Amino acid sequence: MFRESLGLNLEDEGFSVTSFSNGPDTLAFFANGGSADVLLLDWRMPGMDGLAVLREIRRRVIAIPVIFLTALSDDIYEEAALEGGAVDFIDKSRRLSIILKRVKLIAEGVRPIVSDQEPSPQSTVDYGELTLRGDTSRALWRGETVELTLTEFNIVQLLAGRAGEDVHYRDIYDLVHGKDFVAGYGAEGYRANVRTFIKRIRKKFREVDAEFDGIGNYAGFGYRWIGND
């Protein structure tokens, strides 16, 4: 079975692996105080699919990085996984060496944001009409909560901390996946991944403020925060 084979290969690479065959057992593990550096989910699981597990994990404010590793490679599944708060979506058909590399990079941790105004874990920082609460990773726009995932919060924090400056696609992608991560869909595949994140972030801000236009784009380069005026 793929799960067992992958677990053995991860252990050969030095990982400690805890494996479950279904969603409820996975959730029970975390509910009972379990922890991990990264969680791998398949879409198709008995009783509770991977997306439902991911949504429940995020509802419980469990900030573990989640990777979908599945045979369902259509864009609709990838977009749903990213929308739900996953940090990566990998086709099972990829070579084992590529899968292991991507898991390792994410398990090692997301690269910290470099910003003179980066909120400390216990601080609240205002960027014009945007408020970022570092203790809860929550964003408020004009006093109203914007329901961002942890990854989306980090992206907004990066852009707002460098307000007025064009931030390259790759800088945003490295923030999400870790520096030197190998993007899918060819050498420039990371651009499509970042566009998906930005599209989702804009949508969430516009659910709070229909006229929100605080994230500008520099075609072919990246994005900038212009929402401080």
Cβ proximity of 98 and 182 under 8 Å:
yes
Whether pTM exceeds 0.85: no
Question: How confident is the model over 214-228, as pLDDT tens digits?
Answer: 999 987 789 999 865
- Give residue 107's pLDDT: 76
- Give residue 112's pLDDT: 36
- Give residue 92's pLDDT: 81
CA gap 113, 125 in Å, rounded = 14
Task: Using alpha carbons, list the distances in angstroms from residue 135 to 119, 121, 139, 150.
Answer: 9, 5, 11, 12
- Give residue 215's pLDDT: 94
CA 148 to mean position of chain CA atoms: 10
Beta bridge partners, 140, equal: 131, 145
Over the chain (229 residues), what is each successive 10-residue block's mean pLDDT?
81 85 89 86 86 86 82 80 81 81 73 41 77 82 87 88 88 70 53 85 93 89 80
- Give residue 116's pLDDT: 42
CA gap 27, 40 in Å, rounded = 13
Q: What's the DSSP call for residue 185?
A: S
Contacts of 176 (CB under 8 A, 6+ apart): 87, 110, 151, 154, 155, 193, 194, 197
Question: How confident is the model over 122-167, as pLDDT tens digits?
Answer: 478 888 899 998 767 788 999 998 988 778 888 999 999 888 889 9
Cβ proximity of 23 and 31 under 8 Å:
no
